[in-house]
Chain A
């Protein structure tokens, strides 16, 4: 069974940093593009970032570019999101999501998410 388990969410002050992790299992992790998608309280889905299977190509939403860094460790089947200079508007549930293919296309497996709250 394909599973994605996020961790690392926490309460952090504005300007602070946080690193999210996503442990993947049940599929050949290194093959697929992986995404982070967030959902602020009572809001819609917002795509955050994606990374190719090898890690050589990364993509970011304008709202996080320069502040967030996506990476992966294929030897550990783990996806990461380093979040710096956090703002109140980054408060959301962050989902780790598997793409169906080796290029950015659509998403077929979603993790339950980890909650990030940015507040003083």
Chain B
């Protein structure tokens, strides 16, 4: 149980274009989802927290107009990287927390984004 999927697993896009990454909780309802980015050999950096039906809360330094997060249902959250630049190339990981579960997060397999 508690499986989180991400799609796509990897994506290459050209500079200036937008790309959408989906995060789905497959066998549970996720009231809260988290989006992280990770650079090679570094730790996870929280970008934003999204709660179903409300606006995402972004971490300091994360451009909310560039990284659009939508948590439209209890099983789906999306991250859209708008006007992508090469420096946005990174590994993006989502996680989800079940209702009433205040501790454990279940992580997706990650999405490798390369901007050329």
Co-complex (A, B): no
Chain B interfacial positions (CB closer than 8 Å to A): none
